[in-house]
Amino acid sequence: MLDQIKLLIRAGNPVVAIESRDEAQATKIVRDAAEGLHVALFEWSTTTGLRRTIPNHSETGVKPGKPNAALEYVLEHKGDSREVYLFKDLGPFASDAAVRRLLRDVFGKEKTTLILVEEDPLPPSVRRLAVSLHLPLPGPEELERVVRDTYRDIRDSAYEEITSNLTKGDLEQIVQTLRGLTAAEAARIVAGAVFDDYQFTPEDLPRIVEAKRNLLQGTGCLESVSVNFAVDEIGGLATLKKWLAVRRGGMTAEARRFGLDPPRGILLLGVQGCGKSLCAKAVAADWRMPLLRMDPGVLYQKFVGESENRLREALAQAEAMAPAVLWIDEIEKAFASASAESADGGLSQRMFGTLLSWMQDHRSPIFMVATANNISALPPELMRKGRFDEVFFVDLPPAASRKQILGIHLTRRKRDPQTFDLERLAADTEGFSGAELEQLVSSAMYAAFSAGTELTDARLRAEVGSTRPLSVLMGEKVAQLRAWAAGRCVPAD
């Protein structure tokens, strides 16, 4: 980036626009470029006014406020050689006709380069005048340097003893987790993890993931979901768990050196209430990555083109938070009409095309988990290899899984599973989903609490007798779904 800025200044470009979230880093690059080229640098912001910072600091007389006076100074000032002016956050003032006119006048002035540093894209009227540059966020090498420097500075200056037992692999995983942050944001998160217990250990990784989630959760179209359980807390799904365990290290730099590409994701089809959504949370918890939930309903807007932009913004946000798990729940409801004629003017097809292109082309370490209750409503392009790594079918749990699920929910409610006849309960609950088994335990607990007695097998069996599971209420549809998935999908259990 430094060489690019130098080249644009030497080539006489009148306006250069740098889009960056890291204003401090962009400012440093421009200052280094000015020093390297031995040109004068002036810097403006609405709070400081216009000042010369290179080769020496001096006031220009332009006070804080709107940029009009600073732009007039740029036009009137006659330097002996090329001068560079750095303006921060000028974009919001571009709606003023006078500012736009002044920018056009600066565009025609020789020996002057106006550099604009903005977090958000400039208005089209200004963007047309400028050479645009995007300052990328720090890469792995720079983030590793930030982590090392931050730890060393804390260790050297703290009164308490600071220790660390990170291995090279642990450090690489922390660096991967910090992707999508500026250098300053990464340094603050690392400092918070160190100061929490005056240690820097692998146990700090969940804290770093949570800090990153909290830092970025208020931006964009994605919901950052907190996860606080392990994959072992999900009953059944042995095949899916094994598949995920094999790919657990696929996002690491070690996997890249081995020649592996990051795993792309899975599509989960299944009967409602069998744990598809829970699997997305379990993957994020087990792989120690943030979980981002995309709600397709939030993406659709009433103005033409706005929905597609919202989807692109959501995908860009996911890339900024990578490595991450991107969860799209009930994906068929968002893109079902993309497979047939629809009355939305082709919006679903365009949205679907944008998603497919991103799924095919992105190289960010993002693992997508999409869930669906009716996969036959989805376009076939979504399910071919290259979009997802595998398509799993989450069926109604068999007896062994039902026994495990009942034991998990009894343990969560402070009951010893060994004191219950889980074998008989599992046999009696044929056709129950995981969610229905959870509700069975909860309802029996309420009944026991209301009667002032302890939970018993008899109480649980009574609830079994009064429950009509979805496999009975919607038996035809469940049977049709199971028949469709047979031979087409990999069984998750």
Q: Does the pLDDT value for residue 303 go beyond 60?
A: no
Please tell me the distance from the alpha carbon of residue 242 to that of residue 238, in angstroms, as a whole number: 6
Question: Which residues are within 8 A (CB) of 469 and not within 5 positions of it... i.e. 6 or more apart?
Answer: 431, 432, 433, 436
Does residue 337 sit in the same domain as residue 235?
Answer: yes
* Residue 147: band (very low, low, confident or very high) from pLDDT cuts 50, 70, 90: very high
The full length of the chain comes to: 493
* Residue 382: band (very low, low, confident or very high) from pLDDT cuts 50, 70, 90: confident
Question: Which residues are within 8 A (CB) of 283 and not within 5 positions of it... i.e. 6 or more apart?
Answer: 231, 244, 289, 291, 325, 367, 369
Cα 467 off chain centre by? 39
Does residue 127 sit in the same domain as residue 252?
Answer: no
Q: Which residue has the higher pLDDT, 317 or 404?
A: 404
pLDDT tens digits for range 330-347: 887 766 555 555 545 566
With respect to residue 493, please indicate whether it lies within any of the assigned structural domains.
no
- Per residue in 143-171, is it b (16+ CB within 10 Å) or e — as a string? bbebbeebbeebbeeeeeebeeebeeebb
Does residue 233 sit in the same domain as residue 305?
Answer: yes
Does residue 82 sit in the same domain as residue 113?
Answer: yes
Q: Which two tokens stand for residue 338?
A: 């993309």
Does residue 207 sit in the same domain as residue 238?
Answer: no
With respect to residue 469, please indicate whether it lies within any of the assigned structural domains.
yes
| Residue 46: CATH number of its domain | 3.40.50.300
Please tell me the distance from the alpha carbon of residue 492 to that of residue 240, in angstroms, as a whole number: 5
Which among 192, 216, 240 is the end of a domain? 216
With respect to residue 490, please indicate whether it lies within any of the assigned structural domains.
no
Q: Which residue has the higher pLDDT, 5 or 135?
A: 5
Please tell me the distance from the alpha carbon of residue 207 to that of residue 192, in angstroms, as a whole number: 9
pLDDT tens digits for range 411-441: 989 999 999 999 999 999 998 988 899 999 9
Q: Does the pLDDT value for residue 259 go beyond 70?
A: yes
pLDDT at 37: 93
With respect to residue 492, please indicate whether it lies within any of the assigned structural domains.
no
* Residue 362: band (very low, low, confident or very high) from pLDDT cuts 50, 70, 90: confident
Residues 382-394, mean pLDDT to the nearest whole number: 82
- Over the chain, what is the mean pLDDT? 84
pTM, entire model: 0.68
| Residue 171: CATH number of its domain | 1.10.8
Which among 394, 412, 432 is the end of a domain? 394
Q: Does the pLDDT value for residue 134 go beyond 90?
A: no
Residues 117-137, mean pLDDT to the nearest whole number: 83
Does residue 169 sit in the same domain as residue 246?
Answer: no
Does residue 128 sit in the same domain as residue 151?
Answer: no
* Residue 42 near residue 75 (C-beta atoms within 8 A): no
Q: Does the pLDDT value for residue 213 go beyond 80?
A: no
How many distinct structural domains can be found in the chain? 4
Does residue 383 sit in the same domain as residue 457?
Answer: no
pLDDT tens digits for range 156-209: 887 888 888 988 888 888 888 888 788 888 999 999 999 988 999 988 888 888
3-state secondary structure of 246: helix
3-state secondary structure of 434: helix
pLDDT tens digits for range 65-124: 999 999 999 999 887 788 999 999 898 898 889 999 999 998 888 888 888 888 877 888
Which among 77, 111, 134 is the end of a domain? 134
pLDDT tens digits for range 53-65: 999 888 888 999 9
Residues 297-301, mean pLDDT to the nearest whole number: 64
| Torsion over CA: 391, 396, 399, 405 (sign) | positive
Does residue 118 sit in the same domain as residue 144?
Answer: no
| Residue 431: CATH number of its domain | 1.10.8.60
With respect to residue 481, please indicate whether it lies within any of the assigned structural domains.
no
Please tell me the distance from the alpha carbon of residue 81 to that of residue 69, in angstroms, as a whole number: 22
- Between the CA of residue 448 and those of 61, 66, 408, 442, 459, what are the distances in Å? 79, 69, 19, 10, 7
Please tell me the distance from the alpha carbon of residue 189 to that of residue 168, in angstroms, as a whole number: 19
Question: Which residues are within 8 A (CB) of 315 and not within 5 positions of it... i.e. 6 or more apart?
Answer: 354, 355, 358, 362
Cα 404 off chain centre by? 32
Please tell me the distance from the alpha carbon of residue 131 to that of residue 13, in angstroms, as a whole number: 8
With respect to residue 167, please indicate whether it lies within any of the assigned structural domains.
yes
Does residue 244 sit in the same domain as residue 321?
Answer: yes
Residues 292-314, mean pLDDT to the nearest whole number: 69
Does residue 116 sit in the same domain as residue 43?
Answer: yes
Does residue 59 sit in the same domain as residue 123?
Answer: yes
pLDDT tens digits for range 430-476: 989 888 999 999 999 999 999 999 999 999 999 888 888 888 888 88
With respect to residue 326, please indicate whether it lies within any of the assigned structural domains.
yes
Q: Which residue has the higher pLDDT, 111 or 15?
A: 15
pLDDT at 238: 86
Q: For residue 106, give its domain range.
A: 2-134
pLDDT at 481: 83
Element (H, E) at 451: helix 434-451
Question: Please, how many CA atoms are within 13 Å of residue 191, restricted to the half-sphere of its CB?
Answer: 14
Please tell me the distance from the alpha carbon of residue 467 to that of residue 152, in angstroms, as a whole number: 61
Element (H, E) at 318: helix 306-320
Residues 250-265, mean pLDDT to the nearest whole number: 86
pLDDT tens digits for range 189-201: 999 999 988 999 9
pLDDT at 277: 82
Share of the chain above pLDDT 90, in %: 29
With respect to residue 484, please indicate whether it lies within any of the assigned structural domains.
no
